[in-house]
């Protein structure tokens, strides 16, 4: 009899907890979409209840405040007070719903979390506490941080100034580029190779085509191949990435066509060596030892193999011109190569070689933006020194400096 | 048409991908991820073309018994062996006991490490040539290199009188002028990259498209 009464009372307690809103549940859980969110995340914040639990379980429902529930996160420490939940892993197949309900469930020691809905419901029913809350994911169309606006302004400024300075050039107000010894040396190196009857070796870096340095190198390769074709010298292009080889092949072929020597193009001159860094380095070194190029041109993104390549070229007494924006490799190139193009000079080579007014005007545009950035730097240094952080916050991409 | 379509595609895709940094909406990010997957698939297919190019370049040398044809033969046989074994073993190729894994661990990794190890000697030879007091700038470079190298080894701190100051000066040298110089290069390179990207997206720069 006593046992029956105990079971009935337990049944009624569980029934009340499950069905009467707010009974056994605390509403100390806030669910909000993060600022400028993608619409796939919700941030949960709760106050730690006085009841001591062994771990916390977070469950989510897209249907209603009473479930059905699925596990969002299990095994949280009892001292945790916040969590960011990604409401769906595949937004195409299961797009985010309008509203989500959450419960933060405090579990006692020995309680095992299982995924099936029935076990989960029983677990929640026997939990120490449950905090409930709900929220709506909000997908923003634009990140309204000051830094994002500044970034957009910089990009649009560069584009606008390119058009402005191009118009100036058409009116006759041309721009001059200062002499860059390394770029002048490219043509001199090709001439040297022609005189010696040896090829020119061109290495467009070892990074993928999506890297801007590789793209800049391929643009330069177009001009170099045109000059090589005009001088009727051999060109060897050593590529680490197959897709870069395909683009380089097309660019070199185009260079020969533009120079008026389409038949001089050798399809085997643009070579894929290996996709591994040091295998590529070994293969390119082999080319240097066997084919003994008179001029080596390294333009693009390089890593540890940079010095091995440059030193091998030095041993072979090649004239070497290198250019990269990779600051860690610049010292090696400066030590081992005859000419080194540093950082932004790499991106100026195609304009310098082609002397196309539109390309030269883009250099002027980036120089103007550089001056503006220097101005902001100076103002920022002074303002931060005086304890005013507004300049730094103006360029913050995440809403403000800590 | 042959250059117009690629230019239009470049503009559309370029603007779309730049928008990724400004538009956080999940729909936009999903399309961006899809476009990136397309690029990865194209790059993957290009590997087949890379293999074909390797054979095209090296096979005639082997067949014609030209200079160093033996090295080309080893290259082609190694490539074929790894390909056949890798395809034969399939998804189990990197499990313990697999022949592919043995070749990778016992041949490829040591060869890679050998090339990397050469770097130490190349650094020494390059430093020997570069660190010469030919002019004022070279002298400053030489002094800075000596200070940093001395301060980085334990014996540098043991030098009586200046050991402690050497370490502090070295830290200052690496944390202040060195970082300042690197940041200047980063800023310049970043702006150059923006200008290059804008030129390509707007179709001002076209040499990467090739063509007649």
Helix (H) or strand (E) holding A200: strand A200-203
Residue A137 has pLDDT above 70, yes or no: yes
Residues of chain B found within 8 Å of residue A159, distances taken between Cβ atoms: 198, 202
Cross-chain residue pair A278–B112, CB shorter than 8 Å? yes
Residues of A within 8 A of B116 (CB-CB) are 278, 304
Q: Is B67 exposed, middle or buried (0-12, 13-18, 19+ CB in 10 A)?
A: exposed
The closest alpha carbon to A244, from B97, B20, B46, belongs to B46
Given this model, what pLDDT does residue A171 score?
83
Residue B39, min C-alpha distance to chain A (Å): 9
Q: pLDDT (tens digit, 9 = 90+) per residue, A338-365? A: 999 998 899 989 888 888 888 888 888 8
Nearest CA-CA distance, residue A316 and chain B, Å: 14
Under 8 Å CB pairs connecting chains A and B tally to 213
Would you call A347 and B193 a contact, using CB atoms and an 8 Å cutoff? yes
Q: Is the pLDDT of residue A25 over 80?
A: no
Residue A256 confidence class, pLDDT cut points 50, 70, 90: very high
pLDDT given for residue A101 in this prediction: 95
Give the model confidence (pLDDT) of A95-118 as tens digits.
999 999 999 999 998 888 888 888
Residue A189's nearest CA partner among A251, A233, A253 is A233
Q: Are strands A55-61 and A70-76 parallel, antiparallel or unpaired?
A: antiparallel
ipTM: 0.90
Residue B191's pLDDT is what? 87
| A269: closest chain B residue by CA | B57
Task: State the pLDDT at residue A366.
Answer: 85
Mutate to test the interface with A, among B140, B189, B209 (most CBs of A within 10 A): B189
Q: Does B186 touch chain A (CB under 8 A)?
A: yes
At residue A27, the pLDDT reads 56
| Cis-peptide, bond into residue A68, ω within 30° of zero | yes
Considering only CB atoms, B119 lies closest to which of A245, A304, A347, namely: A304
Do B133 and A295 form a contact (C-beta atoms < 8 A)? no
Q: Which of B22, B198, B199 sits opposite A143 (nearest CB)?
A: B22
CB atoms within 10 A of CB A400: 12
Q: Is the pLDDT of residue A26 over 60?
A: no
CA distance B121 to A125: 69
Q: With contact defined as beta carbons under 8 Å apart, do A227 and A261 qualify?
A: no
Tell me what pLDDT residue A8 has: 55
Q: Tell me: the pLDDT tens digits for A267-279?
A: 999 999 999 999 9
Residue A255: left (phi > 0), alpha (psi -120 to 50), or beta? alpha
Residue among B190, B149, B153, B185 at smallest CA distance from A334: B185
Instruction: Please indicate if any CB of chain A lies within 8 Å of the CB of B128.
Output: no
Q: Using an 8 Å CB-CB cutoff, list chain A residues near B29.
A: 38
A229 vs B2: which has the higher pLDDT: A229
Among residues A104, A88, A101, the alpha carbon closest in space to that of A139 is found at A88
B112 touches chain A (CB under 8 A): yes
Q: Dihedral through CA B108, CA B109, CA B113, CA B114, nearest 10?
A: -30
Q: How confident is the model at residue A323 (pLDDT cuts 50, 70, 90)?
A: very high
Interchain proximity A254–B210, CB inside 8 Å: yes
Identify which of A171, A178, A166, A212 has the alpha carbon closest to the alpha carbon of residue A352.
A178
* Mean pLDDT, all residues of chain A: 88
Please indicate whether, in this complex, the C-beta atoms of A139 and B26 are within 8 angstroms of each other.
yes
Asked whether the beta carbons of residue B50 and residue A242 sit closer than 8 angstroms, the reply is yes
Q: Which chain A residue has the Cα nearest residue B123?
A: A307
Q: Which residue of B has its CA nearest to A251?
A: B210
A14 has a pLDDT exceeding 70: no
pLDDT in 10s for each residue of chain B, 212 residues:
777 888 899 999 999 999 988 999 999 999 999 999 999 999 889 999 999 999 999 999 999 999 889 999 999 999 999 999 999 999 999 999 999 999 999 999 999 999 999 999 999 999 888 888 888 888 888 888 888 989 988 888 888 888 888 888 999 999 999 999 999 999 889 888 988 998 889 888 877 676 55
Chain position carrying tokens 């907890």: A17
Contacts of A378 (CB under 8 A, 6+ apart): none
Mean of the pLDDT values across residues A174-194? 89
Least Cα distance to B93 among A274, B81, B102, B110 occurs for: B102
Residue B11 CA from chain centroid, whole number:
27
- Is-contact A135 A128, C-beta < 8 A? no
Residue A400 has pLDDT above 70, yes or no: no
Rounded alpha-carbon distances, angstroms, from residue A164 to A149, A156, B193: 22, 12, 19
The predicted-structure confidence for A303-320, as pLDDT tens digits, reads as follows 999 999 999 999 999 999
Residue A13 pLDDT exceeds 70: no
The minimal CB distance from A154 to the residues B27, B43, B194 is found for B194
Name the strand (E) or helix (H) holding A210: none
Alpha-carbon Rg for chain A in angstroms: 32
- Whether the per-residue pLDDT at A24 is higher than 50: the answer is no
Question: Do residue A212 and residue B130 have CB atoms under 8 angstroms apart?
Answer: no
Name the minimum distance, in Å, from the CA of A257 to any CA of chain B: 6
pLDDT at position A355, please? 83
Closest to A29 in 3D by CA, of A56, A63, A52, A69: A56
Output the pTM of the full model: 0.84
Longest dimension (CA), chain A: 111
What average pLDDT does the segment A45-57 reach? 87
pLDDT at A22: 41
Q: Are strands A100-107 and A129-135 parallel, antiparallel or unpaired?
A: antiparallel
CA distances in angstroms from B125 to A87, A314, B121, B147, B153, listed in the order given? 57, 11, 6, 19, 20
Query: A55: helix, coil or strand?
Result: strand
Confidence of residue A17 (pLDDT cuts 50, 70, 90): very low
CA distance to A31, A86, A139, B38, per residue, from A95 (Å): 19, 12, 12, 22
CB contact at 8 A, A192 and B173: no
Min Cα distance B58 → chain A (Å) is 9
Spatial contact of A134 and A62, defined as CB atoms under 8 Å apart: no
In the three-class reduction of DSSP (H, G, I as helix; E, B as strand; rest coil), residue A24 is classed as coil
**pLDDT band for position A224 (50/70/90)?**
very high
Q: What is the mean pLDDT of residues A205-209?
A: 94
Residue of A38, A307, A332 with shortest CB distance to B24? A38
| Position A21 confidence tier, pLDDT thresholds 50, 70, 90 | very low
Of B172 and A174, more confident: B172
User: By three-state DSSP, how is residue A106 classified?
Assistant: strand
The pLDDT of residue B128 is 87
CA distance A314 to A307: 10
Q: Mark yes or no for CB contact A91/B30 under 8 Å.
A: yes
Cβ of A335 within 8 Å of Cβ of B54? The answer is: no
In chain B, residues with a C-beta closer than 8 Å to the C-beta of A96 are 26
Q: Which of A155, A332, A346 lies closest to B126 in CB terms?
A: A332
Q: Which two tokens stand for residue A60?
A: 């989510």
| Assigned token pair, A10 | 């337990």
Cβ A91–B192 below 8 Å, yes or no?
no
Q: Which residues pair with A131 in a beta bridge?
A: A26, A104
- Tell me what percent of the residues of chain A surpass a pLDDT of 70: 92
- If you write DSSP's letter for every residue of A280-336 in order, what string do you get? HHHHHHHHHHHH--SEEEEES---THHHHHHHHHHHTT-EEEEEES-TTTHHHHHHH
Q: Which residues of B touch A267 (CB under 8 A)?
A: 56
Lowest-confidence pick of A48-52, A287-291, B157-161: A48-52
Q: Which range has the worst mean pLDDT, A25-29, A65-69, A328-332, B42-46?
A: A25-29
At A363 the pLDDT is 86
| pLDDT (tens digit per residue) in A293-306 | 999 999 999 999 99
Strand order in the sheet with A100-107: A25-26, A129-135, A100-107, A55-61, A70-76
């Amino acid at each position: 009899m006593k046992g029956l009464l105990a079971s009935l009372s337990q049944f009624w307690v569980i029934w009340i907890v499950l069905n009467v809103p707010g009974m056994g549940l605390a509403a100390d859980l806030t669910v909000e979409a993060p600022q400028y969110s993608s619409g796939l995340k919700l941030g949960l914040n709760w106050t730690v209840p006085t009841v001591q639990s062994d771990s916390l379980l977070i469950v989510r429902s897209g249907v209603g405040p009473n479930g059905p529930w699925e596990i969002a996160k299990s095994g949280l420490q009892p001292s945790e007070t916040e969590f960011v939940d990604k409401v769906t892993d595949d937004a195409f197949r299961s797009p985010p719903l309008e509203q989500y309900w959450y419960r933060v469930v405090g579990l006692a020691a020995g309680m095992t979390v299982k995924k099936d809905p029935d076990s989960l419901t029983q677990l929640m029913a026997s939990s120490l506490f449950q905090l409930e809350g709900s929220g709506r994911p909000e997908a923003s169309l634009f990140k309204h941080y000051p830094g994002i606006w500044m970034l957009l302004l910089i990009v649009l400024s560069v584009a606008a100034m390119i058009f402005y300075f191009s118009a100036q050039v058409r009116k006759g107000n041309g721009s001059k580029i200062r002499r860059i010894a390394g770029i002048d040396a490219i043509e001199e190196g090709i001439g040297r190779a022609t005189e010696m009857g040896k090829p020119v070796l061109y290495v467009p870096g070892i990074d993928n085509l999506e890297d801007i340095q590789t793209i800049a190198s391929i643009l330069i390769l177009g001009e170099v191949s045109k000059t090589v074709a005009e001088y009727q010298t051999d060109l060897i292009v050593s590529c680490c990435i197959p897709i870069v080889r395909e683009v380089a092949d097309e660019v070199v072929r185009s260079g020969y066509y533009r120079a008026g020597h389409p038949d001089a193009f050798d399809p085997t001159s643009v070579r894929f060596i290996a996709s591994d860094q040091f295998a590529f380095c070994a293969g390119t070194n082999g080319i240097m030892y066997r084919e003994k190029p008179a001029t080596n041109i390294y333009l693009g993104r390089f890593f540890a193999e940079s010095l091995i390549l440059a030193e091998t070229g030095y041993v072979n007494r090649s004239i070497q011109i290198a250019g990269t924006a990779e600051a860690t490799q610049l010292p090696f190139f400066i030590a081992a190569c005859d000419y080194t193009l540093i950082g932004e000079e790499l991106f100026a080579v195609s304009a310098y070689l082609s002397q196309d007014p539109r390309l030269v005007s883009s250099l002027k545009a980036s120089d103007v933006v550089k001056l503006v950035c220097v101005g902001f730097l100076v103002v920022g240094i002074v303002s931060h020194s005086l304890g005013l952080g507004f300049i730094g916050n103006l360029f913050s991409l995440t809403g403000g400096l800590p | 048409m042959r250059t117009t379509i690629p230019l239009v595609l470049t503009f559309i895709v370029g603007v779309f991908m730049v928008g990724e940094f400004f538009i956080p909406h999940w729909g936009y990010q999903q399309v961006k991820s899809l476009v990136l997957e397309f690029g990865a698939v194209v790059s993957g297919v290009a590997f087949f073309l890379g293999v074909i190019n390797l054979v095209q370049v090296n096979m005639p040398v082997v067949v014609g018994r030209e200079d160093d044809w033996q090295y080309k033969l080893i290259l082609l046989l190694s490539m074929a062996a790894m390909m056949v074994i890798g395809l034969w073993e399939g998804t189990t190729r990197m499990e313990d006991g697999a022949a592919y894994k043995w070749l990778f661990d016992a041949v490829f990794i040591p060869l890679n490490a050998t090339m990397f190890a050469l770097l130490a000697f190349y650094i020494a030879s390059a430093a020997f040539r570069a660190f010469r007091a030919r002019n004022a700038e070279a002298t400053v470079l030489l002094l800075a290199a000596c200070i940093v190298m001395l301060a980085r080894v334990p014996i540098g701190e043991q030098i009586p009188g200046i050991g402690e100051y050497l370490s502090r000066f070295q830290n200052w040298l690496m944390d202040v002028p060195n970082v300042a110089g690197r940041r200047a290069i980063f800023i310049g390179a970043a702006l150059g990259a923006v200008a290059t990207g804008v030129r390509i997206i707007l179709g001002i720069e076209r040499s990467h498209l090739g063509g007649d």
